[in-house]
Amino acid sequence: MNALGNVDFSAADDITIGELLDALGHQPSSPLTFRYDGRPLRKGYHVTEVKAGSFAGLDCGANPEAWTEIFVQLWDVDDAPEQMTARKFSAIIGKVADHLSLDRSARLTFEVSDGIQPMQLHRAAAPAIGSDEIVVELSPRPASCKPRDRWLAEQQAASSCCGPTSSQCCR
């Protein structure tokens, strides 16, 4: 994620579109399974929309923020005879990239719905690449307070044995 001041607020399990596509390239013929709410999307899921945006705003501390984000909308239905492969998913994103500028380092958000329940926003963990499928765990995207996140990161760095207040690194 791009943010003013070169501060990255992404969670440790929050991957970018570039990281996802790179991982999928290792086993393109493998079925691609997305999991959310403790279960996999049904095998006939669709990628119904891909959006790219650049955002600017002020956080709750009146600090300017700017980032790019890619939204991939997944429709959780059982409407196809086969599971989507990593290759097909990558081809869909590639087709979008032919028409839109996709920042490979952009924050990645999945919008998931079964067409009945309201859409839910999720972040993606790094894909688990198994011998017979690739699984991407989606978890709800939480709200955060960026000034608090910055303060916590500073506190953690200061308390680390290798932090800026320490005279030597741990060995």
pLDDT tens digit string along 105-148? 999 999 999 999 999 999 999 999 998 999 999 999 988 898 89
CA–CA distance, 48 with 38 (Å, rounded to integer): 22
pLDDT at 118: 95
Backbone angles phi, psi at 151, to 5 degrees: -60, -45
Assess contact for 17 and 79: CB atoms under 8 A. no
Which amino acid is it at 86? A
Q: Which portions of the chain are predicted below pLDDT 70?
A: 1-13, 161-171
pTM: 0.81
CA-based nearest residue to 41, from 53, 56, 31, 52: 31
CA distance 171 to 157: 17
Q: Could you tell me how many residues make up the chain?
A: 171
**Which of 142, 143, 159, 141 shows the shortest CA–CA distance to 151?**
159
CA 16/CA 20 separation, integer angstroms: 6
Q: Tokens 């990558």 sit at which residue?
A: 90
